[in-house]
Amino acid sequence: MDAKTIRFVRRGELVSLANVPPDRTLLELLREDLGCTGTKEGCGEGDCGACTVVLGEPRGGALEYKAINSCVRLAHSIDGMALWTVEDLAAADGSLHPAQEAMVQCHGSQCGFCTPGFVMSLFGMYQNHVCRGAAIDRALAQEELSGNLCRCTGYRPILDAARRMGDLPRRPVDEAGVLAQLRALEDKRALVPASGSYLDPRTLDEAVALRAANPQAQVVAGCTDAGLWITKMHKRFPRVLDVTRVAELRRVEARDGELVIGAAVTLTEAFAALVAQRPQLKPFASRFAGLPVRNSGTLGGNVANGSPIGDSMPLLIALGARVVLVGPRGERALPLEDFYTGYRQNMLAPDELVARLEVPQPAPGEFLRAYKISKRYDDDISAVCLVLNLHLQGGVVQHAGIGAGGVAATPVRARQAEAALTGQAWTAQAAQRAADALRAEFRPISDMRASAAYRAEVLGNLVQRFWLESQGVRHVNLEDFRVAEALAP
């Protein structure tokens, strides 16, 4: 096998591993090759967080920390990064890291199986917030721990531990030393062109050339979907093309009235950019899987995968986004709703890659809401996703954009419902007509997440919620619910 050597920094030392298959997961590498069994396998699909580890990568001259799920992350993807597992936090004298000590003091562990994953998510929070002088409140802790599940239902003491960390003596990482080691690794890597069974180009030209030369290679960009094909479907990928390190695909920039998001931008960063322009999307962005999934997954990967229950596509469709494809013949762009040709099928040629998403900036009079209906509020897959975007002028709908997921074989644009609204006065009657049109437009299926009848009913109900919110009515969704207000006399 022509598998290249993986090199990464751990415990201040260089780790070098040869002959690692391209489709081996990071969790398998840790537990089976390195004997690091503190990292647990729970679900094998990035859902429970028991396998959480933290990666460090240079960004803008500093070290960026990301808690990720090792069960669906490919081992080769951490080449050139720093890695921390739960075995790496205690000091040489045995004293505990604040993330560990806070869990002990707050009695945050019950059966203990999930504890290593929680500790690593806490470590990521510690580095990103406490060590940068920011406090952790309950809301932040709850959001950033949403990707970790406790089967014993012991969340309160774990949330307490997240806040307690900042009160303990500091235990900073030697960032300067780690950055120096990572720069040395990248300098060595630059001398060797991408080759072998795991291809990880650094430039777009290199990525396009490798794609043209390897049309059968499995393209990954974060691997939160492809990782499932390995762990759950037992697929094997003899050759992988990983585009997550391509510099041109990692950019986010405002350009010509559009927000341009590279295909390899993580979901965390992509949603942060979208929320910066449209703050009302914050609850929706926070519910797109747990933080470790968003830290690995990419917007381009989510779009290229094209799952009908993926949440980013309905949003992008409602916003009027275009997807830009790149290949040896150059670039081509098309509306995102026209990109999909069938269930997990799209317009990509065998030698093309998704390059970026171009999202129009907010227009005057825009009223936008994104709804996710799922059995579990956090860290769950949608039964229905509906995004409605109206441009109102003088009480009249000048433009309507509606994207839906979970109601067809692909993410779809609700053209009939849009037509029912465009040019009409925005009234309760217009909302009802749009709801009726939306229910009639799609024929959803019944599956483990919801019945067809439920999905159809919910589509119309969400339009009614949208109408109420447009009139300033509060407390019609969980995002507005506050326990203190509910208990007030």
Tell me the C-alpha to C-alpha distance, in Å, between residue 411 and each of 29, 159, 338, 395.
Answer: 35, 36, 10, 29
Tokens, residue 132 = 């940068």
**Annotated domain spans of the chain:** 6-167, 198-360, 366-478
What was the pLDDT predicted at 153? 80
Assign domain 366-478 one CATH number from 3.40.50.450, 3.10.105.10, 2.40.30.20, 3.30.390.50.
3.30.390.50
pTM above threshold 0.85? yes
What was the pLDDT predicted at 478? 74
In the CATH scheme, what is the code of domain 6-167? Answer: 3.10.20.30
Instruction: Write out the DSSP string of 104-145.
Output: HHTT--SS-SSHHHHHHHHHHHHHHTGGGT----HHHHHHHT
Q: What is the mean pLDDT of each run of 10 residues along the chain (489 residues)?
A: 82 93 96 96 93 95 95 96 97 95 96 96 97 94 94 91 96 94 86 78 96 96 90 93 96 95 97 97 93 96 93 97 98 98 95 98 96 90 96 96 96 97 97 96 92 95 96 81 59
Kindly indicate whether the domain formed by 198-360 is annotated with CATH number 2.40.50.140.
no
What is the 8-class DSSP label of residue 169? P
Tokens, residue 137 = 């409140």
Instruction: Write out the DSSP string of 37-89.
Output: TTSPPSSSSSSS-TTEEEEEEEETTEEEEEEEETTSSBGGGGTTSEEE-GGGS
Report the candidate in 98, 70, 88 with the shortest Cα–Cα distance to residue 170.
98
Q: Is the torsion defined by CA of 244, 246, 252, 256 positive or negative?
A: negative
Q: Which residues pair with 326 in a beta bridge?
A: 331, 353
